[in-house]
Every structure is written in structure tokens, then in C-alpha cells.
Amino acid sequence: MNFTSNIFNSHSKQDGDFFLGITNILGFKPKKIGIYKKAFLHRSANIKDKLGNPMNYERLEFLGDAMLGTIISKHLYNEVPGGDEGYLTKMRSKIVSRKHLNELGKDLNLIHFVESKIPKSHFGDNIHGNVFEALVGAIYLDRGYKYCEKFIEDRVIEPYVDIEQLEGKVISYKSLLIEWCQKQKKDFKYHIYEDTGKDPLKHFAVKFSINGKVMAKARATSKKKAEEKASKRAFFALQHKIEKT
């Protein structure tokens, strides 16, 4: 029996454990368990269906992302009747930010179910959010919109969505700083360079300057993370000035 048949048609103890684990997370019994297995199948497994199409969670991730956006948008529309389009868009972005989705995936320990040829310790943080979105997509295909909406209400909205707290939550310190610098007509620059040092992983260092003066420095394993870390440090150094404008 090939891997594809085994993963979707067998009835081993592992399958039973998967069914019970997913049922506990969902709060209801799946009808088509194969859809949920696909939601945790990493592309490194290199599995294809009978027509030769790749089988992994990425298409379900795309669908789940759309469902999350729709259901969160509906919630915000109903909960904040005075919010305009810009406000609603900003609030939705905070709820479905990659960082937040990664936290959701970690809280549910979804990586435990991932089938991959890559050791799980080698995955980055985004795997948690990716499979969370794929799970949402699987729910929609298996049970439809109502079940999908109920799951998001129970697992995302009720425990995590507090409108007042979200209004004060900063998504990106970099975006905040750039917007402030542009409004104040200040010249700013992110100077990025490799800074491996003695670390086994490649690191990048960033210097953030305003009008030629270095405001903050940071280093991280990616340019994006280093920029955000430096931006956060600069924001708190300039917070009293930013909040006055």
C-alpha cells in the first residue's frame, strides 16, 4: 500500500489518535477525516493524488485564510457599527496577523499532527499559523460555513478578540515609525548588514537612524525581524515625542 493510501484510508491506532486529537480541537466529530489529514501534510512529503496534483496543506491554507478574513470581518462589522472601512480593515489585520495566527497554532499544538520529511525542530514559526489556516479551510470543506464560523468564534474571537485592547495594539513598529517620520518630514534609514559573529545561524544587524543620527540597533536571524526589533527600540526611545504629535 503506498503512502497516499495509507495516510487517507488506513485504520491504524495512529489514525484513531489523529481522529480523537482533531475532535478535541474542533469540538465536533469530522465527517471526512481525510480532509483534515491533508491540512497537516507538508509539501516535503512530496505526495501527489491520482491525477498527479501535489497534496499538502497549502491550498487549504489559502481557503482558510479567506474564511478567517470573512468571518472576522463579519464580527467586526456587527460589533463596531461606528467603525469606518479603514478602522475595520486595521482591526481585522491585527486579529489575523501572522504573529497572532502563529500563537493560535502554538496554543493548539497543531504542529504535533504535521506529516513531514523535515524534522519539526527545523520549521520556522510560520508553520503554526499556516496549519491553523489550513485547519479552518478543512472545516469549511467538511462541514460548511456555520461550523467554520462556530470554530473561529470559539477558538479565536471569544478568547482573543478584545476590541479595546486591539485598538491599542501595535502590529508593526516599523510601519508606525515610518509613518511618523514621513508626517514629521524627517529623513530615516535602515542600514542592514550581515552579522554572524559566533552564532551557528546567520544573523543580520540593523541600525535605524533619523536625520543621520542612529536611534537604535538590533540583530536577528532575518532582515525583517532585525528591522522590527530596531524599530521597537527606537519607538520607545521616541515615544514621548511620537505621542505628542
The residues that are catalytic are: 65, 133
Residue 132 grid coordinates: 491553523
Q: What whole-number distance in Å separates Cα of residue 237 and Cα of residue 34?
A: 52
Q: What's the sign of the alpha-carbon dihedral 109, 113, 114, 118?
A: positive
Q: What whole-number distance in Å separates Cα of residue 20 and Cα of residue 220?
A: 39
Identify the three-state secondary structure at position 82. Answer: coil
**C-alpha distances in Å from residue 225, one per residue of 46, 119, 128, 170, 222:** 30, 23, 17, 15, 5
Q: What whole-number distance in Å separates Cα of residue 105 and Cα of residue 127?
A: 8
Q: What whole-number distance in Å separates Cα of residue 204 and Cα of residue 197?
A: 10
